[in-house]
Every structure is written in structure tokens, then in C-alpha cells.
A = this chain, B = another copy of it.
Amino acid sequence: MNKIDPWGTQLIEDYSRLIKDFGLEPMQDFLLDFPGPNYLMKRGIVFGGQGLKELSAAMKEKKPFYCLTGIMPSSERIHFGTKTVIEMVKYFQENNAKTFVLVADLESAATRGISLKEARERAMDFYIPAYIALGLNPKKTVFYFQSENSEVKNLAYLFSQKITLNEFKSIYGEVHPSRILSALAQAGDILFPQLNEKMPGVIPVGIDQSPHIRLARDIVRRTKSEFNFFLPSATYHKFVPSLDGSNKMSKSNPNSFVSIPEESNSAGKKMKKALTGGRNTVEEQKKLGGQPENCMIFEMYKQHLIEDDKKLQQIYDNCKAGKLLCGQDKDNAFELMISFQEDFKKKLENARKTRKQWKFVKS
């Protein structure tokens, strides 16, 4: 019987090429350097990063460092990829990261037509409490709205001189002016904490966000004489696979993913249809065993629903042995999902009550 290799399942192998092509650092090479890595790092869900050496060194030596993430207040639901980001923020916060959470209200206004007022309400009523419900410590966090942060916008302005249109195109593909402003503002966000204090910092993101990190790092190199920023580090997590097995969940196909929050009925229906690693017949599956490495339900466990390695291993073993069949497994997963969602709702309500503790900065 195979052991789960947390550092090398089939899905992770798909990412080794990304690591090579984009010159990223594999997380597995740094696991011993990070104090008490979390399950996402150990399982290779957070599979790589940039500047991991500087980051882990600062953490080990208990030097000041920061962690930054953003809220795009475009709807009233978040997806499981955001949960992964917040798990990482939580990990860094527990290791004393100075934490910054920005609300990208300008970006949601420019790109989604959401008014600044509406964005603010959504952030206050849903996103910030949701982040707290997912593990963000509000007492150790500084929040700001892009629209109220003049310094970030000034940075965007100053950075605009440092990169040509062709370089933009090579990082982002075809560009629209709004994308240029948005990307430069994100570079401003990423480096804003260093206006007060020069220090290493980490931006935990999905791998699809790596162009922003690349831009910010390029800009740091080109503004050495003016700003002398530390190069920002990043951790990259895998795409949340869609339930139908395509590489990345897509908002245009709402059946392909479960949101946070989501009603039981609809979550249940989607999970029932999920692609698994089952065989053609029950008999065959009992004989040959299932293929958890190809199973979207198992991936949900691994990424989001089961932190306990032993439990995960047990499911893996039972599946491989042909003892746990897909129907039963989906029922179990659904139970875990319900319980996660219920827990989230309770925590969301509690988080809303902490509103007075939230610290906002303007500049």
C-alpha cells in the first residue's frame, strides 16, 4: 500500500514545471527553515515561493517582517483559495508578522463597477469578518481602503516611471490602461508597509497572482537608490481544483466549486457530481482500490477540510484498499463541508462583533 507523500503527489508534480519555468523556489527545500510549517506547506498545497530564504531567516531570527493580503469586495462570497491565503496569513501572524489587509475598493470600482460606498459596506459587513472567521487575528492587523491610502497611490505614480509598456506586456500579456494602474497600485500595496519600516515581507497568493510579485520585485530593484526596499517574498499555493477536475475552478461555472458561505443543498448537489478517482464498477474498485490522487473530493480534504494528517492518511488507505467507495466518501465529505460551513457562519457572526477592534489607517 502506498504512503501519501505530502511532498510529491501527482497534482503537485504538475507544478514542478511552473517552478522551473518561472524560477520559483520549491517549498519543500525550505520546510526545515520555517518554524513549525503548517499543513498547507507540509502537503505542498503551498508548493513554492520567492524570497523564502530571507523570509524564513527573518522568522527564525525573530526579526521584524510583514505579511500583506487584500480583499476584492466584488461579491458576497469567497472561495476556498482565499481560505488558503488566510491560513497562511494566520501562520505568519502566529510567527509575529506585522499584518496588513487592504480593501481593493478602487480596483473593484474600476473593474467591476462597484461603487466605493458599496465596496466599503461589503468589506465591513462580510469580507473583514469572514477573514477573521477564517483565522485572521484582528488585534494584530492593520486594515486600509485603497481609496483612502494616498501613499499607495503616490507609490503607483512613482513606480510608473520604472517599467516600460513592453515589460508590462511581457509580464501580464496584452494590457489595458486600467490593468496598468491596478498593477502599479498593487505594487504600491505590496511595498506600502515598508514606507514606515524597511523589512522583509511576504505576500501569500495563488500562483496565478505571481505576475504582481514579479512586478513588485522588479520595481524594488529599480528603485534601490530612492527607496531601498527589501525584496518582497511570496508563497504560492496551487489552484483550488474545480470539482469537475479541470485545473482551476471558474466563476463562470458555479457548479464547479463550493463557496464560503454556501447553502447545504447546493453544496451537496455539487459535491455529488464531483470527479473522483473511482473505477468503472464497484467490483473493480473493490478489487483494484480507488485513485485518491485523481480525486477532487480527496483534494478538498487535503487542501481544506482535513488538517489532521492521520485522518487523511486513513481515508487514503481505505480508498486505496477498495474499502471506502466513492458514494460513501462523498457523504463523509459533505458532512465535513456542512460542519465547516456551520462553523464558519458562527465565527462570522462573532467576528462581526469585534468591529470596534479593527484598526484602519488612512494616509
Q: How many copies does the complex hold?
A: 2
Q: Give the distance in Å from the alpha carbon of A119 to the alpha carbon of B136 in the complex.
A: 40
Q: Give the contacting residue for A147; candidates B107, B116, B154, B163; CB below 8 A.
A: B154
Q: Which residues of A contact B (CB under 8 A)?
A: 106-107, 109-111, 116, 147-150, 153-154, 156-158, 160-161, 163-165, 168, 175-178, 180-182, 184-185
Q: Give the distance in Å from the alpha carbon of A150 to the alpha carbon of B185 in the complex.
A: 13
Interface of A is mostly: helix
User: In the complex, what's the smallest C-beta–C-beta distance from A72 to chain B, in angstroms?
Assistant: 14
Q: Give the distance in Å from the alpha carbon of A178 to the alpha carbon of B164 in the complex.
A: 8
User: In the complex, what's the smallest C-beta–C-beta distance from A259 to chain B, in angstroms?
Assistant: 26
Known: A154-B106, A157-B181, A158-B110. A176 touches B164 (CB 8 A): yes
B157 and A185 contacting across the interface, CB-CB below 8 Å:
yes
B160 and A110 contacting across the interface, CB-CB below 8 Å:
yes
A165 and B157 contacting across the interface, CB-CB below 8 Å:
no
Q: Give the contacting residue for A181; candidates B109, B116, B147, B160; CB below 8 A.
A: B160
User: In the complex, what's the smallest C-beta–C-beta distance from A112 to chain B, in angstroms?
Assistant: 10
Choose among A107, A147, A175, A178 the residue with the greatest number of B CB atoms under 10 Å from its CB: A178
A158 and B111 contacting across the interface, CB-CB below 8 Å:
no
